[in-house]
Structure 1
Amino acid sequence: MSGAFEEQFATAETASPLYNVEAEIGFLGDLLANNRLIDEVADRCRPADFSVPLYGRIYGKMIEQSASGAVDVVTLAPHFAEDGEWPRAYSVLAAANLNAGPKARTKAYFDQITMLSSRRRMVAGLKDVVASARDLSVTREELVANADEAVAELAEQVVTAQGSVGQYADVVINSFGKPIIGVRCGTINSLDDAIGVLRPSNLVVVGGRPGMGKTSLVTSYSIGAAGMGHGVLIFSLEMSADELTRRMLADMTFSPRGGVPYEHVRDGTVRSHEMGAVIAAKERFDELPIEINETSGLTLAKLIRQARSHKRRLAAKGEKLELVVVDYLQLMAHSRKGMSPYEHASEVSVGLKQFAKSEGLVVMAVAQLSRDVEKRPDKRPMPSDLRDSGQIEQDADVILFVYREEEYLKKEEPDPFDNKYEEWRTDMEAVRNKVEFLVPKRRSGPSGKAIGWFFGANSAVRGSDFYSSREGA
C-alpha cells in the first residue's frame, strides 16, 4: 500500500506540477510597476513561496529595498550581478514591468503563488509522514501530529495582524446595523443578558464548587447555541460520551410539564410512555451541529489539533465551528512530566486563550474552585477562588460562576421536631431550583449577576423567563 501511495505522489507531481513560473514573474513585474503593492503582500507571501529560488531571492530583496525607497530592476541589479541566471531574469522582469496589469490581476497571481506553495509544503509533509510510517521508532501520536500538520497547510495561511486604526474603524462603522457576530444560547435568556454575545476569540471560564451544576450549565448552553445554528464541539474530560449524552437527552426532553428524568435515561429504565420523548430528542440532536469528543489522555496540543481538524471538516461541508467547550480545564493531561498544578493550569489557560484568538472561536472552559469557598459564611465564589492559577483569571474574557444556595441549605436541614425546621423549610422553598449566574469579570461589558432555574432531575438549566416563555407556555 505504501508503494502505491508513493507512486500516486510521483504521478500527481508529473501530471500537475505545483508551480506557475509565469505567474511568479508576472507578480514580480507588477510589484516593480507599483511599489505600493509590496507592503500589502509582504506579510502574506514569503520568498520561500516561489518555486524558482532566484525569484524568491529577488522578492526578498524587493521587500528589503521598499522599506527605504523605490525598487526597480536597476536598483536590484547590483545584488544579483554574480548570479548566472540574473541576465535572463533582468530582461524578463523589465518586460514584465512594461506589461504590468491591474490590481485584480496581481491579486490573482498572488493567490495562485501562495496556494501552490501551500500544496507543495503539504506534499513534502505527507512524504515525510510516509517515510516516518516505515520507522517503527516513531510513535503513532507523532505520525498523527505530522500528518495533521501537513494537511493544515491547506487551511492555514500567513496573514497580517496589523493595520491602521483608521482601517479598523472602517470595519467597525461598516458593522453598524448588522447582526452581531458571536454565540448566544437562546434558551437561557438571563444568562445571555448577563454575559452578552460571546465574540470570536473569547475565553469564557465557568467555575463552581462540586454539585453546583457546572456541567449541566455548559451542556444546556451548548444545546441552545447549536439550536441557534452555532457549530459546537464538547471535549468531555470528566464523563464518557455515553454518560454526557444521557444527560443531554434528559435535558432535551425537559419542559415545564416535566420530562424524562435523567435517572431513567442513565439506568436504561425509560418507561414506555417516555420513549417517544427520548426518540424525539434524539431526532432533534440529529439536526443540530453539536459533537462530543471523549479522547482520553488529552493534552492541550492534542485538543487544539483535534479541534482544528473538526473545524476543517465542518468548513468542507459549508458549516462553521464557533463554540468549543472543555469540561474541565484541570483534568487535561500534563504536556510534560513534573509540572506543578500551577504550571499546568497556567499553560492550559494561556493556550486556550491563544487558540480561541488564532482560530476565531469561543472557548468555554469549566474550572474547579478551591475549598476556601467553603470556609466563608457567604459561599458565593470570587475570582481568587479559581483553583491552581491566577493566570486563569487574567486570561479569561468572561468569568462565570454558578451558585446554588439550595445545595448548601440541604446540608443544614434540622430535625423535623426542631424549632428551626419551619424557618429552614421556608428558606428552602425560596431558593428551590434557583441558580445564580455570577459574572465578576466581563471584558467587553459590565459585571453583574442573573437568576435562572436548575432542574437537577433532568440535568437542565433554563433562564429566568422559563415559565413565561414559549417553552413554558
Structure 2
Amino acid sequence: MAAAEIHALKQHAEENNNPATWRRPPHNIEAEQALLGALLINNDAYDRVSDFLKPEHFFEPLHAKIYEILATLVASGKLADPVTIKPFIPAEEKIGTMTVFEYVVRLAAEAITIINAADYGHIIYDLYTRRSLINLGEEIVNTAYDAPVELVPAQQIEEAEKRLFQLAETGRYGGGFENFGSALTKAIDMAGAALKRSSRLSGIATRIHSLDNKMGGLQKSDLIILAGRPGMGKTSLATNIAFNIAAACQKDKGEENEGGVVGFFSLEMSSEQLATRIMAEQAEISSSDIRRGNISENDFASLMRAMQKMQQVPLFIDQTGGISVAQLAARARRLKRQHGLDVLVIDYVQLMSGSSRRASENRVQEITEITTGLKALAKELNVPIIALSQLSRQVESREDKKPQLSDLRESGSIEQDADVVLFVFREEYYIKNREPKPGTEDYSKWQTDMENSFGKAEVIIAKQRHGPTGTVRLAFQADYTRFSDLADESRLPERYG
C-alpha cells in the first residue's frame, strides 16, 4: 500500500474518530489492512479471530464495515471476496485517489499469507482495549466534574471498577470451546495438587476433617449455601471455617498452599463483634465474658497473645449492611486484585438487596437475582462462595425440627443456584427450650435427652453436585462458638493461645 494512500486513510480515520486532543488514539492501520487482506484471500482465517474480534474493535470505520460484511457472509456459508462484498460497501466513495472498491481489491491483492491472521487480530484488539481505557478515564473525569446530584462518589467508584473489571475480563483471547484433552489435563492437575497436599483434598480444606472428608474441601466456583434457624450456629460455623482457611494460608512460604485469602461480608455483625468471636474461639475464653469485661489478668494476657499471632492472618472483613449484589461483586473484585482471594463468605443472603428496580418490587425475584449473581461471581472469580441463609418458620411447627430443602426462604432460586446446601442443626437448642418442671417424670427424661445432645451438632449435606449427601456430626462449644470434630481431640485445628 502506497505511503500516500495510508496517510489519506489515517486522516480519514481520525476525521471519523474526532480526536479530542493532539495525541492520536493508539491504532495500527497496517495491521487492520493485513488482517482484512488475509480474510479476503482465505475465508478460513476468520475462524482464527471470530471468537474475540468484533467490528467495533477496528479503529478505521471503513475497516469495521468491511469486517462486519465479511463476518456476515462467512457466517452464512457464503464466499466473501472483493466481488461479493461490493454491493454492501460504499464502492464509489474515494480514499485518496482511489475508490473504496479499488481499495478492497488492493487489500486482497497485497495479502501474502493467513498465517499471522490471529496475531493481527490480537494487535487490533489490544489497541481497542487501550482506546477503551482512555475513553473510560475521560468519562470518569468528566462525570466527576459534572456529576448529577443523585450520583454519590461511592456509586461512581463502583461503576468505574465494574467497567474496568469487565474490560479486564473481556480483554482475553481465550474462552469458547476447548478440546476434551485440555479439560482432562486440568482434571489431572487438580488430582495431582490434591495428592501433594497433606489434606489430600481437591478443594480448600475447612480444617474440620469430618466435613472435609464428606465434601472433598471447598471446590472452586461453587456456591455453597449454609442455612439454619436462628441459634443453630451458622455464623459460628462460617466464622470457624473462614478463620481456619486464612490461618492455614502459606502464600509466601514456597510450600503447597493449604489455606487461602478469605473475604468475609458481615452484613449482620460489626467487624469488632466478628473479631471478638474469633478471638474467644482461639483463646478459649467465653465471648460473653470478653464483652462484659469479666476476665482475669491471665485471660487478658491470653487474648493479647492470640491477637498478636492472628494479626497477620489474611482475613478481610466488610461490615457494610444492606449491600447490593453489584456492590458486593465490585468489592470482591477489588479484594482479588489487591490482595488475592480464595474464599468468599457472606452473612447472610436475606440481608442483601438486588440491584434492579424490578427485583426490589418482588422479594422472590430479588433473592433470585442475588443467588444468580453470587453463582456468576463464584465462576467469574473462580473461588468458592459460602453464603449463609435463613430458614422459614415452618421448621418450628413440625415435630421433627431437622431442616429440609423446602425450608429455605424463597427456596426455589437458592436451591437451584447452589452447588452445595448445608444445614446446621443442634437438637440441644430445642431440648433446652422444652425444660419441664423439676422433679417430674418428664424432667428425668429431659435430663437424659440433654446429656445425649449436649455439645453436639449436625451439619446436614442436603445437596451436593460433586458428592454424596448425608449428615456430619460435630462437637459444638457454645462458650467459644467453636465447631470441631467429635471423634479425636488430636485432630482439632491448631489454636492460638
Question: Which range, TM-score by smaller chain?
Answer: 0.7 to 0.9
Stretch deviating more after TM superposition (378-387 or 61-70) = 61-70
| Counterpart position of 2:214 | 194
Stretch deviating more after TM superposition (172-181 or 325-334) = 172-181
1:298 is the counterpart of 2:323: yes
| Counterpart position of 1:353 | 375
Deviation at 1:291, TM superposition (A): 0.8
User: Would the alpha carbon gap of residues 155 and 449 (structure 1) be closer, same or farther in structure 2, given more than 3 Å must change?
Assistant: same
Stretch deviating more after TM superposition (387-396 or 429-438) = 387-396
| Counterpart position of 1:342 | 364
1:445 is the counterpart of 2:467: yes
Deviation at 1:101, TM superposition (A): 4.3
User: For residues 355-393 of structure 1, what are the alpha-carbon distances to aligned partners after superposition, in whole Å with 9 as ceiling and x for unaligned?
Assistant: 223332322111111111111121100000011342211
1:260 is the counterpart of 2:285: yes
2-structure distance, mates of 1:455, 1:206: 19
User: For residues 140-178 of structure 1, what are the alpha-carbon distances to aligned partners after superposition, in whole Å with 9 as ceiling and x for unaligned?
Assistant: 1542233223422442216676426xx135412552243
| Counterpart position of 1:149 | 162
1:403-414 alignment runs, 5 A limit: 403-414=425-436
User: Would the alpha carbon gap of residues 422 and 201 (structure 1) be closer, same or farther in structure 2, given more than 3 Å must change?
Assistant: same
Deviation at 1:191, TM superposition (A): 1.4
User: For residues 47-74 of structure 1, what are the alpha-carbon distances to aligned partners after superposition, in whole Å with 9 as ceiling and x for unaligned?
Assistant: 1111122222222223223221454455
Contact 1:122 1:150 in 2 (8 A): no
Deviation at 1:394, TM superposition (A): 1.6
Which of the pair has more CA radius of gyration? 2
Deviation at 1:118, TM superposition (A): 2.0
SS in 2 for 1:324: strand
| Counterpart position of 2:237 | 217
Stretch deviating more after TM superposition (128-137 or 443-452) = 128-137
| Counterpart position of 1:122 | 133
2-structure distance, mates of 1:274, 1:401: 34
Find the partner of 2:280 among 226, 235, 250: 250
Q: Which residue identity does 1:204 align to in structure 2? A: I
List gaps (5 residues or longer) in structure 2: 1-18, 195-200, 249-257
SS in 1 for 2:299: helix
| Counterpart position of 2:335 | 310
Find the partner of 1:137 among 149, 152, 159: 149
User: Would the alpha carbon gap of residues 278 and 61 (structure 1) be closer, same or farther in structure 2, given more than 3 Å must change?
Assistant: farther
User: Would the alpha carbon gap of residues 292 and 472 (structure 1) be closer, same or farther in structure 2, given more than 3 Å must change?
Assistant: closer
1:163-174 alignment runs, 5 A limit: 163=177, 167-168=179-180, 170-173=182-185
1:43 is the counterpart of 2:58: no
1-structure distance, mates of 2:411, 2:234: 19
SS in 1 for 2:34: helix
Contact 1:126 1:150 in 2 (8 A): no
Contact 1:203 1:365 in 2 (8 A): yes
Larger RCO (CA under 8 A, 6+ residues apart): 1
Aligned residues: 448
2-structure distance, mates of 1:290, 1:354: 23
2-structure distance, mates of 1:112, 1:239: 49
User: For residues 258-281 of structure 1, what are the alpha-carbon distances to aligned partners after superposition, in whole Å with 9 as ceiling and x for unaligned?
Assistant: x23222443455543234443443
| Counterpart position of 2:266 | 236
Q: Which residue identity does 1:385 align to in structure 2? A: D
Stretch deviating more after TM superposition (198-207 or 145-154) = 145-154
Contact 1:207 1:399 in 2 (8 A): yes
SS in 1 for 2:410: coil
Q: Which residue identity does 2:485 align to in structure 1? A: G
User: For residues 60-119 of structure 1, what are the alpha-carbon distances to aligned partners after superposition, in whole Å with 9 as ceiling and x for unaligned?
Assistant: 223223221454455445543234343345424532x215545xxx54443333233223
2-structure distance, mates of 1:234, 1:339: 28
1:91 is the counterpart of 2:121: no
User: For residues 293-331 of structure 1, what are the alpha-carbon distances to aligned partners after superposition, in whole Å with 9 as ceiling and x for unaligned?
Assistant: 1123311221122222222223xxxx3x23221111111
Find the partner of 1:327 among 347, 359, 375: 347
1-structure distance, mates of 2:293, 2:51: 57
User: Would the alpha carbon gap of residues 119 and 158 (structure 1) be closer, same or farther in structure 2, given more than 3 Å must change?
Assistant: closer
Q: Which residue identity does 2:183 align to in structure 1? A: V
SS in 2 for 1:179: helix
SS in 2 for 1:376: coil
SS in 1 for 2:441: coil
User: For residues 203-249 of structure 1, what are the alpha-carbon distances to aligned partners after superposition, in whole Å with 9 as ceiling and x for unaligned?
Assistant: 11111111000001111111222223322211111111111121122
Q: Which residue identity does 1:358 align to in structure 2? A: E
User: For residues 341-363 of structure 1, what are the alpha-carbon distances to aligned partners after superposition, in whole Å with 9 as ceiling and x for unaligned?
Assistant: 32322222222222223332322
Contact 1:441 1:447 in 2 (8 A): yes
User: Would the alpha carbon gap of residues 218 and 14 (structure 1) be closer, same or farther in structure 2, given more than 3 Å must change?
Assistant: farther
Find the partner of 1:64 among 53, 72, 79: 72
2-structure distance, mates of 1:440, 1:423: 30
List gaps (5 residues or longer) in structure 1: 1-10, 254-258
Stretch deviating more after TM superposition (458-467 or 334-343) = 334-343
2-structure distance, mates of 1:243, 1:435: 23
Q: CA RMSD in A?
A: 3.1
| Aligned sequence identity (%) | 33
Deviation at 1:286, TM superposition (A): 3.6
